[in-house]
Structures are given as structure tokens and as C-alpha cells.
Amino acid sequence: MHKKLLHFAGAIAFATLLFGCNSKPTNQAKSAPLKLEPGFSATIVADSLGSARHLAVNKSGDIYIKLGALKDGKGIYCLSDTDGDGIVDQTSSFGNYPGTGILIKDDYLYTSSNTTVYRYKLDKNQKVINDKQPEVIVTGLVARAVDGSKPMVIDDNNNLYVAVASYSDACKNETTDGKSCPLLDSVAGIWQFKADKPNQSYTDAVRFATGLKGVVGFAWNDISKSLFAMHHGRGAFHENYPQYFDAAYSAKFPAETMYELTQGADAGWPYIYYDQVQHKQLQAPEFGGDGKKESDRKYLDPVMAFPAHLGPNDMLFYTGNMFPEKYKNGAFIAFHGQSTEIHKGFCVAFVPFKDGKPSGDWEIFADDFAGVDLAHPTGPSQHKPCGLAQGPDGALYVSDDLQGTVYRIAYKGKS
């Protein structure tokens, strides 16, 4: 069960507002009105960036941000603190393609559009050497108008994992026999490539895991040496099958689910969905289900289930030393949506881990990004958490793709 956190801490002098690219912004420390546990504080690092999706922080503290839509013709921002005073004083932008995925691994910055994975060579300080000539690593990935983002993970053996979401919510219109979904050959799964091999395509890949309608947040766990993924559940129960479901059911199910994946794993989409109350895999109505019938085949069980429609858009295993011990090696999750059942969402959650496995209930770590009471809203959400990154000092960075805000959450201890 989630926990309602009742405190928020004050500011630290680290923030600035950004209003254009390739310019020096006005230094202005600004606290973020988030609800956090005692000892934590949140500040705004940047604002008005546009669709700030995933982000990565290098060992020098520079923040690379991938934009879901171009801003001034560019899709990647870099924020730097050149004088070491803890405040961003320089911005630059590059890359003429929108997208979501971005990560730093060894001597490269990897980024993605909705069809292609690129990488840029970094110098000894992990700054991009030539931002105009990235190397193409993967090309030809399927992308349609819906759920086209291509988030990425790289493991310890230089394997590159790319999540490809389905553009169909339940494969209802694509199946021809009512028994199989033809989309699974190229979407609704995670494909494994080599991180250092140029110009790869589906023919070079291993379909590492399947049956995952949409994965935007996933991460490599250094303790278990395995891949964990957060799955977006399907919708449209009562709209398409009113004989079996009502609106209350659609608000409550299916769960958003966390999986630990090994090669060949099948999470069951579109044939099943997960009922987090009964802890059962139920047959999807498109394939003979009625809201009660259990799956006629066993698929991979989730290691944790969350309320419906929270929209997990990033996942990060915390390895820093700034936060209290309870957070060490646990998972932070950026929830981009909301559950109308529990009136929670637009938040960053935390799942404790022990020995590479979930070891307790999930809780809300950072709340009130929405800026409105979700139980009695007076307007739309003001911010939607999307991306997560860990700074070299152990601070947690959170991006918001609605207003283009970047937050820094730090811990100084209880007063």
C-alpha cells in the first residue's frame, strides 16, 4: 500500500530558470513545492524546456535532457555549471530529432529518436566531443503515432536493450483469428542489440522479452544482474465490452506491473492482463475473457503490481550515498499518470529492494507535482514527472515533460 507523505523541505541554492538555448540564463534559486520526507529538499534546476522526457547526468554534473518535441529545432539540451557554484550557468542544445531515450555509458552518450538509436563520443569529462555527427547504432525501429518512444538500457556486457511499445492498446483490430496477435514480431517487447555495433536493425537483434504493451521505464539491476521493467497496462474495458465491464472496473484494472526479465520472458500482452486484487492473470476480452476467466496459459508473473493508469515512465535503481540507507539499491519510479481510484499520481514512487528483489510495499517519495488536489481537482495537472537520473553526488533529478521543468532532490538530514 502506498504511503501519504506529509512533509516538504526547503530550498537549496542550485536552481535557475531557462528561457532559451545557447545562452546564459539568469541565476535564480527557486525551491520546488513538493511533498517530501523530512530531511529532503527539492529545487528547480531548469524550466520552460518543452517536452523534457528522459535525462542523464555525467560525472561533471552536466545534465543532458532528451526532448519529446523539438525546441528551437533541437532535441537535446545540456545544462552546465561551469564555475562550480552549484547553479547552472550555461546551456547548449543539439540533435535535430525528438525522442525519449538518453543514457551515458562509459565514453558515450546514447540517445534515441522514435526509430533510431545514436551515440556521441565523450571526452574525459563526459562532455560530447562532436554533437553534429552521432554514430547510428540501431535504425528501422517501428514507430507509429501512438507510443513511439524508444527508451534504452545497457548492461554490464555492453548489450543494448531497446523497448518498442505497441501502437495498439489490445490488438483488437489487428488479430485475424481471435487467437494470435501479429504485432509481436516487431512491437510490444524489448530487443537486445550490441551497444558498439553500428547500423543494426531488427535482423541483428535478439527479441529479449515479449508480451509488454508499453515499457518506458526500465533499468539494469547491478545486484541481481538482471533487467527490470515497468509495464503500462491496457485500457478500454467498458468502452469496448460493456456486457462484462463498467467504468468503475476500467478505473481499477488492470495493474501497472513491474517485471524482472530474463531472455525469452513473455508477460502475456495482449492475451492476458493482471488483476492486482486477486493476484491473478485474467484472459483479455479480445481473446475470450469476461473479467472472471483466468488465463488458459501461464505467463510471467510480476514482482510487484501498482494501481491502474499511473503511467510509469522511468525507473532508476539508486546507488548513491547521499540518501538514507533505506534507499540504497531500491527503485525510484516516475509516474506520469494518475489513478482515479486512489486519487494519486503525477509523483515519484519508491520500492525498497534487498538482494536484488523487491522487499517491501511501494510508497510515494515525492508528491504534489500536479499542483492540484487530485481528489477534488480545480484544474489540470501542472507538471508530469517523466525521467529520472542520479547525479554524481547522489542527488535525484526528475524531469517534467508538461512544462519542461527539471527538479533536483537532495538530502541533508533531519533537523
Whole-angstrom Cα distance, residue 349 to residue 189? 24
Kindly state whether residue 109 falls inside one of the protein's structural domains: yes
Quote the CA–CA distance of 360 and 67 in Å, as a whole number.
34
Specify the pLDDT at position 380: 93
Q: Tell me, yes or no, whether 8 lies in a domain.
A: no
> Residues 69, 307, 361, CA angle at the centre, nearest 5°?
110
Dist CA 395 CA 386 (whole Å)? 17
> What cell numbers appear for 124 in the block?
574525459
Q: Residue 408's closest CA among 19, 30, 39?
A: 30
Residue 180 makes CB contacts below 8 A (sequence gap 6+) with: none
The label of the residue with cell 555495433 reads 197
Number of Cβ within a 10 Å radius of residue 202: 16
Select from 195, 186, 188, 10 the least CA-distant residue to 117.
195
Tell me if the bond preceding 254 is cis, omega within 30° of 0: yes
Q: Which three cell numbers stand for residue 23?
A: 545562452
Closest among 84, 35, 102 to 401, alpha carbons compared: 102
Distance CA 161, CA 192 (A): 5
Number of domains within the chain:
1
Q: What is the pLDDT of residue 21?
A: 34
> Quick one: pLDDT at residue 286?
96
pLDDT, position 296: 92
Indicate the burial class of 54 (C-beta count within 10 angstroms; 0-12, 13-18, 19 or more). Answer: buried
In angstroms, the CA 121 to CA 113 distance is 18
How does DSSP assign 334-383, residue by residue? EEEEEETTTTEEEEEEEE-EETTEE-S--EEEEB-SS-S-SSS-SS--S-
The reply to whether the predicted model has a pTM over 0.85 is yes
User: What is the per-residue pLDDT for 329?
Assistant: 98
Measured over all CA atoms, what is the biggest interatomic distance in the chain, rounded to whole angstroms?
64
**111 located within any domain:** yes
> Would you say residue 407 lies in a domain?
yes
Residue 312's nearest CA partner among 400, 231, 367 is 231
Closest C-alpha to 254, from 307, 180, 302 = 307
Residue 276 falls inside a structural domain: yes
Q: What is the pLDDT of residue 23?
A: 43
The Cα-based distances of 89 to 18, 20, 46, 258 in angstroms read: 10, 12, 11, 38
In this prediction, residue 30 carries a pLDDT of 86
- pLDDT score for 25: 44
CA distance 180 to 202: 21
User: Please, are residues 43 and 398 in contact by the beta-carbon 8 Å criterion?
Assistant: no
Structural domain including 182 reads: 16-411
Q: What is the mean pLDDT of each run of 10 residues along the chain (415 residues)?
A: 34 33 49 95 94 97 97 96 81 97 97 98 96 97 95 98 98 94 98 98 98 98 98 96 97 98 98 98 97 96 98 98 98 97 96 97 98 93 97 97 96 80
Report residue 284: phi and psi, to 5°. Answer: -70, 145
In a domain, 171, yes or no: yes
Burial 103-116 (b: 16+ CB within 10 A, else e): bbbeebbbbbbbbb
Residue 1 lies in a domain: no
The CATH number linked to 142 is 2.120.10.30
Which residues pair with residue 283 across a beta bridge?
272
| Owner of C-alpha cell 537486445 | 192
Per-residue CA distances from 153 to 164, 193, 212, 357, 406 (Å): 12, 10, 16, 19, 21
Q: What does the DSSP 8-state code read for residue 35?
A: B
The verdict on residue 2 lying in a domain is no
Q: What pLDDT, on the 0 to 100 scale, is given for residue 195?
A: 98
